[in-house]
Amino acid sequence: MKNLAVTPTAKGNILMRALVFILVISSMNANMFNIVLPTISKQFELSPSQVSWVITSYMIVYAVGAVTFGKLTEKYRLTDLLTYGLLLFVLGSLAGVAATEYWMIIVGRVVQAGGASVIPAMAMIIPVRYFSPEKRGRALGTSAIGIALGTALGPIIAGMVISVWSWRILFLIPLLSLLALPVYRKYLQDDESGKAGRMDWLGGLLLAGAVTAILLALTNGSFPSALAAVLMLILFILRIRSAAAPFIQPAIFRNKQYSVTLMITFCITGISFSSPYLIPQLLALVNGLSPAYIGIVMLPAAIVTSVLGRKGGKLADEHGNPRLVYTAALLLCIGFLCLSSVAGGSAVLVSLSLIFCVLGQSFMQIAMSNTASRTLTPEQTGVGMGLFSMLTFISAAASTAVLGKVLDSDSPAAAFNPIPGNQAAFVFSNIFVVLAVLVIVLSIVYYVQFGRKDGRASETISRGL
C-alpha cells in the first residue's frame, strides 16, 4: 500500500537518484581500465593490440546490449531487465577478480558489458516513461550528472587502486551497483510488461553482427570487417522488411524527424566526445604529464558539469530543445577555440578551456536525447532510445578512430590558429579549429530541421503551464 501513496513524479525522482548512482559506477567501469592496460600487458606478456581487447570487447558488447535491452523493454518488465542486467554485471566482475589467465579477463569484461548495457537503456527509457515532455529535460540532465562524475572519477580511482593494491580490485567496484537494486525492485514493481509475442532473434543477431563488424573496422582499421559490416547491414534491412515481427519495425526509420535526429546525433556526438580523447593525448605527448596529473587536469570540467547538468535540462524544459542545442554549440565552440589557442601551453589553461567543452558535450547529449524522445511514439520508445544509445557509442568509437589516424600523421608546418607557439601542438590546434567549424555547420542543420517548429511548440507548452 505504501507504493500507492507515492506520486508518479516522486517515484520518478527516486528512480532517477538511484539511476545516477549506477551511472557513476557504470561510467567508471567503462573507462578506468584504460589506466591499467600497461600493467595487464606486462603481467601477461601481451602486445598493445592484444591487451586492447580488454576495452574493445567491452565496447562491442556494450553497444549491442544497449539496443537489445531497449528492444526487450517491449516484451519484459523494466524491473526484471534491470535485475538480471545488474546481476550479470556483478557476475562478470567476480569472474574478472578470479581470472588467472588473460582469456578469463576478457570473459569477465564481456559478461560485465552484457549486464552493464542495461544501464544506458534505462537511462533513456526511465525519463521518457516517468516524466512528461515538459519535465523530461531535467531528468535527462540528472542522468548527465552520473555520467560526468563516473568519467571524472574512473581514471583517478584506477590510479589510486593500482598504486596501493592490484588492478583486480577494479573488478570489485561494480558490486556497489547492487545497492540500488532494492530501490528499483520497490518502485518499478508496478511497471507493466510489454506485449507478448515472439522475438526476432535472427534480426537481432544480424544487427549485433553488423555493429560488431563496424566497431572492429573502426578500432582495428580492418577492411574485411568493413565488408562484413556492409553485408550484415544489408541482410538486416532485408530481414526487418520481410519478417512478420521484425527486431526493429521499419516504420521507425520512416519517421523523418527521428531519422534526421539520429544523423545529427551521430555527427555531433563524434565531435563533442573528441575532447576526452584528445586532451590526454595532448597533455601526455606535448606537455609530458603522467596519467595521474592528466586526471587532475580533467577533473574540474567533470565537477562543473556534474553541478550544472540539471541546469541544461531545465533550460530545455523552459525554453525548448533548440535553445539548449545552441547553448551547447556555443560552449563547444568557445571550448574548442580556447583549446586551439592554449594547446602546448599551460595545463591550467587547458583545464579551464576543457570546462566549456565537457559542459557543452553534456548539454548537447541532453538536448539530442530530448529531441529524439519527442519524435517517438510510446510503442517506439524502447527500441528507439536503445538505437540512440547504440549510435552515440558507435559515433564516439568512429571519432576516436579518425582522430587517431590524424594524430598518427606528421605534424603540420603551420597552425590555422596563429596563437600557439609550440609546433608539436599544431596538429591538436588545427583539429580543435576544424571541430569548432563543424559544430557551427551542424547547429545550422539542426535549426533548419527543428529550430522554428520546436521553438513554437515550447511556446505553446509555456502558455499551457
207 burial (CB, 10 Å; 0-12 / 13-18 / 19+) is buried
Separate counts of helices (H) and strands (E) for the chain: 20, 0
Written as one letter, the residue type at 346 is S
Report the C-alpha gap between 34 and 39 in whole angstroms.
10
Give the contacts of 361 (CB within 8 A, at least 6 positions apart): 272, 273, 275, 305, 328, 332
Distances (CA, A) of 267 to 82, 85, 225, 253, 437: 30, 30, 22, 18, 13
Nearest to 327 by CA among 313, 337, 341: 313
| Predicted pLDDT at 423 | 80
| Cα Rg of the chain (Å, integer) | 22
Instruction: Answer yes or no: are the C-beta atoms of 168 and 42 closer than 8 Å.
Output: no
Nearest to 27 by CA among 145, 111, 126, 122: 145
Q: What confidence tens digit (pLDDT) does each residue in 138-185 have?
A: 777 777 777 777 777 777 777 777 777 888 888 888 898 888 888 888
Give the contacts of 225 (CB within 8 A, at least 6 positions apart): 213, 214, 216, 217
| Predicted pLDDT at 457 | 42
Distances (CA, A) of 257 to 59, 252, 260, 434: 28, 10, 5, 27
Residues across the chain:
465
SS3 196: coil
| Predicted pLDDT at 453 | 54
- All 3 cell numbers of residue 291? 596519467
| Predicted pLDDT at 277 | 75
The whole model's pTM is what? 0.76
Report the C-alpha gap between 236 and 238 in whole angstroms.
5
The residue assigned the cell 576544424 is: 434
Nearest to 200 by CA among 250, 253, 248, 235: 248
| Predicted pLDDT at 456 | 42
Q: What confidence tens digit (pLDDT) does each residue in 106-142 have?
A: 888 889 988 888 887 777 777 777 777 777 777 777 7
Report mean pLDDT in 10-residue bins for the chain, 465 residues: 57 81 84 75 74 77 81 78 88 88 87 86 76 72 74 74 80 87 75 60 84 79 84 89 81 84 86 80 80 77 78 74 87 93 88 90 83 77 79 79 75 76 84 92 85 47 34
Instruction: Answer yes or no: are the C-beta atoms of 270 and 399 closer than 8 Å.
Output: yes
Report the C-alpha gap between 6 and 324 in whole angstroms.
31
Q: What is the DSSP string of 303-370?
A: HHHHHHHHHHHHHHHHH-HHHHHHHHHHHHHHHHHHHHHHTTS-HHHHHHHHHHHHHHHHHHHHHHHH
Q: Where are the beta strands (DSSP E) in 300-443?
A: none
Instruction: Answer yes or no: are the C-beta atoms of 70 and 384 closer than 8 Å.
Output: yes
